[in-house]
């Protein structure tokens, strides 16, 4: 399975399972390559994986000192962000 690139240390032990489940429910990998970005110089950012039916699995992450947080969202095709 292709993983989205990440610039942060992945703190989610079930990340691969989440991606596999998401892709299985939405028709497999999309044609758009996974993407990511830093919003605040290594303290916050996002990564996205795209499914064949147009859905997006987005992970927003942030880090403050030793505390790290990841929030996953499934975004329907055409939904505003």
pLDDT score, position 8 = 46
Q: Is residue 11 part of a domain?
A: no
**Residue 4 belongs to a domain:** no
Per-residue pLDDT of the chain (81 residues; tens, 9 = 90+): 444 444 444 556 688 899 999 999 999 999 998 888 877 777 899 999 999 999 999 999 998 888 889 899 999 998 865
Is residue 39 in some structural domain? yes
> Does the residue 59 lie in any domain?
yes
Q: What's the number of domains the chain is made of?
A: 1
Q: Residue 62's domain spans which residues?
A: 35-81
Residue 51 CA to its chain's centroid (Å): 11
Query: Listing from the earlier edge strand, what are the strands of the sheet with 35-38?
Result: 35-38, 44-50, 56-64, 67-75
């Amino acid at each position: 399975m292709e993983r989205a690139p990440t610039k942060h240390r992945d703190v989610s032990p079930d990340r691969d399972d989440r991606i596999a489940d998401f892709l299985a429910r939405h028709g497999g990998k999309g044609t758009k390559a996974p993407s990511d970005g830093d919003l605040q110089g290594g303290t916050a950012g996002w990564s996205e994986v795209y499914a064949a039916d147009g859905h997006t699995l987005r992970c927003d992450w942030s880090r403050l000192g030793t505390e790290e947080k990841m929030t996953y969202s499934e975004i329907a095709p055409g939904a505003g962000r």
